[in-house]
Chains A and B, each alone.
Chain A
């Protein structure tokens, strides 16, 4: 025995330890793999020995090799052996190896349960610590279940070293074995107030993680965290808590202070003292506060600043817009991360005024950008920015078309189809632009070789699809249809993808009809018409031979048609009219929701079964039961029949699911999703078409195309002219404004008058139409609404809207929708999504007005607010969809409720005194903060003035003595607002007090506005 030990130790003198291994690997750089395989052989030998020291050395080396990417899973059992050594030195190595190599599917993990339990209860805290650390890496659901109790006891261990580890690992246990959460939670909560800061921070970490997954359950802890936040000096913990509040606030508007932390959590480290966030300041604060962080570079701050801005943008777009230049500068940054962030920001920043400028900048970047991914990103952003909310910001569509045409010059972009769909969309919907668009598209078609030359597979040729269609459909605007027709029938077209060829062929026929129309008027020109037919007959056979089915079919059909026409032409028969009839009728845009508006015919129940379903899976049990007693089968089926008619919602939903699953599995069921176009694309096999590569040394610039820049200039000129015009208008307008002033209704924001109106239907524009605030709508009715910031509980405001039909058609299917803001939300019926619109419960015959009420829930009433909304409706005669944009202005006044103080009217003197006392006490209590206002040049009697305040701003008079009065009102959230109004020599001074200074300031501003308007 002794000999064996001695022999073992001598052997070991020649063993490699870790350092030798590392050195060896570094010395064998050329044949590393070979060297390592010999090392692994040695390690295998070492693992066979009994000596635990040797084994642990071997395991240590294996851990290193594992990191280099070698498979060591074969040694899992040896690792367990080393883990179970009684010596800390080896145990430590064993657990380290386990934490690096084990994963959930390692089967030896099952063997470790008892060993780990033993280590957890070891008297040596470091044994326990090592076991906990290891466990955190490879805990499985089984281990979590078996050890949850042991770890829970460790959470109240005497040593903080163990406690903090136990607390942290509990999170992993919760994840793997969620049942443990309920019993362990009270103890976890206790740990938030542990005397040891390490344990405390560990508990905060765990609860933050938990709360992020399911914030609702942790709302009750908010006060505790609030306490921690104000008392803790540990920055690491503070950041975590701020993040936690960020997760909680969306659910519950906590105390104002906590709410402000939510915002500051965005800008990360804004310290606790920052108070109510001033947003542009918060970005500066971000820079200041992050200075103590030792490792920050300028770039980090830049990145985070942009990130913070994008969050702020959602709530306060104005404050970000002022940083536009800064953000545009960021586009020049070398760092792609920063550039992409800046792009995101731009999207939210555009307005009618700056759109052209921003897009121009972006176009410059497109030209400069290297790397197709970034360039593609730029392209999609440009299109996104321009097309957002129905082209709301575009004032000049000629400019937009030119931008799109310029974008086609991009080599190798993947987004050809995007550009194409934009071209189609604009050309179809903006009638005024068609002539221009057609001219542009004709040039594009004429220069098609430039687009397709290099980029056969890249998708930019998709734009030709749009170009061909637009030229064909609106061919009446073409200057020289003959030339375009010729361009479309060039032999090179046959190299384009199939679906594009198909469009070419079809639209060539449309052009043909236009040419005929133009020529046949004058009989002398019949020769030209015949030449055109000959051209088609010569060129079309190429397409008839196409390997694309669609192209082939269309081409041969049209070819035969043309041949027939040619015959007629030779007999001098006038055919133009008949040919045009082929393509008669205009295409009108249809709203995506139009199908919804088609009323379901009476007696049609879409949910009812057409054929009764075969008794499928759900009735299987029943079926089995009845099988036994087949005699009664008939009777039973009679019983089940009526069930189908009275199934409840749930049942129906379930069946629908089942049916969907069945359809998905059924290969013969034709699903809705794959578009036919895609099929063509795949079928063509473009690769097989011989392609002539053209190398272009000059940049792709389509000749004869107007550049978008000129529009920027034009726009500026136009704007200046408008300005001059507007000055003339001003007087008129002011008068109009006065009439409006009373109601805080829809406002028209006509800063910039669009150059082109985009409309959907131009006929049947009612006479009395009043344009409201959008370039994309035709309008039929006006609505005047009245916000009675009314009673009810603390967060509700009722808005009554009066709809008046001013046109002479019947209006129906009105839907009212408002874009919710963070603060105010339209209350929708249960089950409706957050963007669903509410149906207005009546129809409007011409000339009739009617009122509807909508309830909004409002969180903070301190600030006035504007909400954007839309009203959609159908005018009966045209049965098209119309849209009307409007704005709702929630003033702070509308949050005030007239609360009568009975001091004047009350017959009971005692009550009167009480009331007055209460008022006086309120003023003296010191809870209220003051503010004051001076109005000059008011020459109306004092009681008129008071009446005005009472009427417009919902105040009531508490007491009036001569030229001095005190007034009172309450907000829906219970803020007291007191006014002391004095007047002398046409000057009115108002001293006001309120427990919410922000609210007060806004109310006073509104009062001032009221009087400045009279």
Chain B
């Protein structure tokens, strides 16, 4: 099972965090700090796996963003890399050539996509099409609601 997924920039700024197991705030902050220092401290041409406490850490850098997740010791590292990659593909498909700014400004969308892809630390849907279809459908639903409501026009939900 995946325990957490973190996205952070080269400067160590957190861009997205998803915790699949309930963890106290203080502990979360410690993990985030450890992960950013550990991962950012790695040299560029080194392997993507680390051990931290009893977790396996798998990370991968996409452009300026580091995608980093913590797995149970029994999990497969390669599969986790694939999961990260699939998530990037999904983001890419949704935003169209995704960049860090897309995730910063539409961070809730990034979460929604993630929620359709993973649930409770397990892969929920392996098909890209199915994921994007359900994201589109819920966005449609949202737009329909906004159209119906006069008040919500200026709110700026895309």
What's the nearest-Cβ distance from chain B to residue A559, in Å? 53
Q: Inside 8 A of B23's CB, which chain A residues have their CB?
A: 103
Question: Is B24's CB under 8 angstroms from A103's CB?
Answer: yes
Residue of B82, B84, B107, B112 touching A64 (CB-CB under 8 A) = B107
Question: Is A53's CB under 8 angstroms from B155's CB?
Answer: yes
Question: Is A164's CB under 8 angstroms from B125's CB?
Answer: yes
CB-nearest residue of chain A to B158: A19
Q: Inside 8 A of B93's CB, which chain A residues have their CB?
A: none
**In whole angstroms, what is the CA distance A334 to B47 when docked?**
10
Question: Is B22's CB under 8 angstroms from A168's CB?
Answer: no
**In whole angstroms, what is the CA distance A334 to B45 when docked?**
8
Residue of B29, B124, B151, B154 touching A198 (CB-CB under 8 A) = B124
Q: Inside 8 A of A96's CB, which chain B residues have their CB?
A: 108, 111-112, 115
What's the nearest-Cβ distance from chain B to residue A136, in Å? 4
Question: Is A198's CB under 8 angstroms from B125's CB?
Answer: yes
**In whole angstroms, what is the CA distance A129 to B112 when docked?**
11
**In whole angstroms, what is the CA distance A89 to B138 when docked?**
9
Interface residues on A, range: 35 or more
**In whole angstroms, what is the CA distance A268 to B108 when docked?**
34
What's the nearest-Cβ distance from chain B to residue A307, in Å? 9
Q: Inside 8 A of B82's CB, which chain A residues have their CB?
A: 236, 293-295
What's the nearest-Cβ distance from chain B to residue A789, in Å? 36
**In whole angstroms, what is the CA distance A837 to B60 when docked?**
49
Binary A-proximity of B10-22 (CB < 8 A = 1, otherwise 0):
0000101101101
**In whole angstroms, what is the CA distance A99 to B17 when docked?**
11
Binary A-proximity of B65-106 (CB < 8 A = 1, otherwise 0):
000000000101111011011000000000000000000110
Q: Inside 8 A of A288's CB, which chain B residues have their CB?
A: none
Question: Is B85's CB under 8 angstroms from A295's CB?
Answer: yes
Q: Inside 8 A of B1's CB, which chain A residues have their CB?
A: 209
Question: Is A18's CB under 8 angstroms from B108's CB?
Answer: yes
Q: Inside 8 A of A87's CB, which chain B residues have their CB?
A: 145, 149
Q: Inside 8 A of B134's CB, which chain A residues have their CB?
A: 126, 129, 161
Binary B-proximity of A1-24 (CB < 8 A = 1, otherwise 0):
000010001001100011100100
Residue of A93, A161, A198, A302 touching B126 (CB-CB under 8 A) = A198
Q: Inside 8 A of A237's CB, which chain B residues have their CB?
A: 126
Q: Inside 8 A of A88's CB, which chain B residues have their CB?
A: 138, 141-142, 145
Assuming the A-B contacts A22-B104, A64-B107, A137-B19, are A294 and B85 also in contact, with contact meaning beta carbons closer than 8 angstroms in the complex? yes
**In whole angstroms, what is the CA distance A205 to B74 when docked?**
13
A297 at the A/B interface (Cβ < 8 Å)? yes
CB-nearest residue of chain A to B131: A198
Question: Is A209's CB under 8 angstroms from B122's CB?
Answer: yes
Question: Is B49's CB under 8 angstroms from A337's CB?
Answer: yes
**In whole angstroms, what is the CA distance A330 to B14 when docked?**
34
**What total of chain B residues lie within 8 Å of the partner, measured CB to CB?**
59
A440 at the A/B interface (Cβ < 8 Å)? no
**In whole angstroms, what is the CA distance A743 to B20 when docked?**
61
Which of A65-73, A319-327, A374-382 forms part of the interface with chain B? A65-73
Question: Is B126's CB under 8 angstroms from A303's CB?
Answer: no
**In whole angstroms, what is the CA distance A129 to B133 when docked?**
14
**In whole angstroms, what is the CA distance A168 to B20 when docked?**
12
Q: Inside 8 A of A209's CB, which chain B residues have their CB?
A: 1, 122
What's the nearest-Cβ distance from chain B to residue A102, in Å? 8
Question: Is B79's CB under 8 angstroms from A57's CB?
Answer: no
Binary B-proximity of A130-168 (CB < 8 A = 1, otherwise 0):
101100111010000000000000000000010011001
**In whole angstroms, what is the CA distance A159 to B47 when docked?**
41
A299 at the A/B interface (Cβ < 8 Å)? yes
Question: Is B155's CB under 8 angstroms from A57's CB?
Answer: yes
**In whole angstroms, what is the CA distance A100 to B6 when docked?**
13
What's the nearest-Cβ distance from chain A to residue B119, in Å? 5
Question: Is B124's CB under 8 angstroms from A104's CB?
Answer: no
Question: Is A300's CB under 8 angstroms from B47's CB?
Answer: yes
CB-nearest residue of chain B to A335: B46
Residues B29-82 near A (CB distance < 8 A):
29, 43, 45-51, 60, 74, 76-79, 81-82
Q: Inside 8 A of A335's CB, which chain B residues have their CB?
A: 43, 45-47
A197 at the A/B interface (Cβ < 8 Å)? yes
Q: Inside 8 A of A17's CB, which chain B residues have their CB?
A: 155-156
Question: Is A136's CB under 8 angstroms from B107's CB?
Answer: no
Question: Is A202's CB under 8 angstroms from B46's CB?
Answer: no
Assuming the A-B contacts A64-B107, A198-B126, are A12 and B154 also in contact, with contact meaning beta carbons closer than 8 angstroms in the complex? yes
Residue in B43, B46, B124, B134 whose Cβ sees the most chain A Cβ within 10 Å:
B124
Binary A-proximity of B127-149 (CB < 8 A = 1, otherwise 0):
10010001001100110011001
**In whole angstroms, what is the CA distance A165 to B120 when docked?**
9
Q: Inside 8 A of B157's CB, which chain A residues have their CB?
A: 89
Residue of A130, A234, A268 touching B78 (CB-CB under 8 A) = A268
CB-nearest residue of chain B to A64: B107
Question: Is B112's CB under 8 angstroms from A337's CB?
Answer: no
Q: Inside 8 A of B78's CB, which chain A residues have their CB?
A: 268-269, 290, 293, 296, 300, 304
Residue of A53, A243, A304 touching B152 (CB-CB under 8 A) = A53
Question: Is B119's CB under 8 angstroms from A168's CB?
Answer: yes
CB-nearest residue of chain A to B114: A133
CB-nearest residue of chain B to A169: B120
A206 at the A/B interface (Cβ < 8 Å)? yes
Q: Inside 8 A of A293's CB, which chain B residues have their CB?
A: 78, 81-82
Question: Is B49's CB under 8 angstroms from A300's CB?
Answer: yes
Question: Is A236's CB under 8 angstroms from B48's CB?
Answer: no
Q: Inside 8 A of B51's CB, which chain A residues have their CB?
A: 337
**In whole angstroms, what is the CA distance A300 to B149 when docked?**
52
Question: Is A297's CB under 8 angstroms from B79's CB?
Answer: no
Question: Is A137's CB under 8 angstroms from B16's CB?
Answer: no
Assuming the A-B contacts A209-B1, A268-B78, are A136 and B119 also in contact, with contact meaning beta carbons closer than 8 angstroms in the complex? yes
Question: Is A198's CB under 8 angstroms from B122's CB?
Answer: no
Question: Is A236's CB under 8 angstroms from B79's CB?
Answer: yes
Q: Inside 8 A of B112's CB, which chain A residues have their CB?
A: 92, 96
Residue of A9, A22, A171 touching B120 (CB-CB under 8 A) = A171
A470 at the A/B interface (Cβ < 8 Å)? no
A51 at the A/B interface (Cβ < 8 Å)? yes
Q: Inside 8 A of A336's CB, which chain B residues have their CB?
A: 46
**In whole angstroms, what is the CA distance A197 to B123 when docked?**
12
Question: Is A13's CB under 8 angstroms from B154's CB?
Answer: yes
What's the nearest-Cβ distance from chain A to residue B158, in Å? 10
Q: Inside 8 A of A295's CB, which chain B residues have their CB?
A: 60, 81-82, 84-85
A239 at the A/B interface (Cβ < 8 Å)? yes
Question: Is B130's CB under 8 angstroms from A198's CB?
Answer: yes
Q: Inside 8 A of B84's CB, which chain A residues have their CB?
A: 295
Q: Inside 8 A of A294's CB, which chain B residues have their CB?
A: 82, 85
**In whole angstroms, what is the CA distance A60 to B146 when docked?**
17
Question: Is B145's CB under 8 angstroms from A297's CB?
Answer: no
Residues A851-877 near B (CB distance < 8 A):
none
**In whole angstroms, what is the CA distance A69 to B81 when docked?**
27
Assuming the A-B contacts A198-B130, A303-B47, A337-B46, are A92 and B142 also in contact, with contact meaning beta carbons closer than 8 angstroms in the complex? yes
Q: Inside 8 A of A205's CB, which chain B residues have their CB?
A: 122-123
**In whole angstroms, what is the CA distance A13 to B122 when docked?**
41
Question: Is B81's CB under 8 angstroms from A300's CB?
Answer: yes
**In whole angstroms, what is the CA distance A473 to B22 when docked?**
60
Residue of B14, B29, B76, B119 touching A165 (CB-CB under 8 A) = B119
Assuming A89-B145, A334-B46, what are 14 further A-B pairs, CB within 8 angstroms? A53-B152, A67-B107, A96-B108, A105-B24, A126-B137, A130-B115, A137-B22, A164-B124, A236-B79, A269-B78, A335-B47, A337-B46, A337-B49, A337-B50
Interface of A with B (CB < 8 Å)? 5, 9, 12-13, 17-19, 22, 51, 53, 57, 60, 63-64, 67-69, 71, 73, 87-89, 92-93, 96, 99-100, 102-105, 124, 126, 129-130, 132-133, 136-138, 140, 161, 164-165, 168-169, 171-172, 197-198, 201-202, 205-206, 209, 212, 234, 236-237, 239, 243, 247, 268-269, 290, 293-297, 299-300, 302-304, 334-338
Q: Could you give 17 example pairs across A and B, Cβ below 8 Å? A: A9-B154, A129-B134, A138-B22, A140-B22, A164-B124, A169-B119, A197-B126, A198-B127, A237-B126, A243-B74, A243-B76, A295-B85, A296-B81, A300-B47, A303-B47, A304-B77, A334-B43
| Nearest 7 A/B pairs, CB to CB | A335-B46, A299-B47, A136-B120, A303-B47, A205-B122, A133-B115, A103-B22
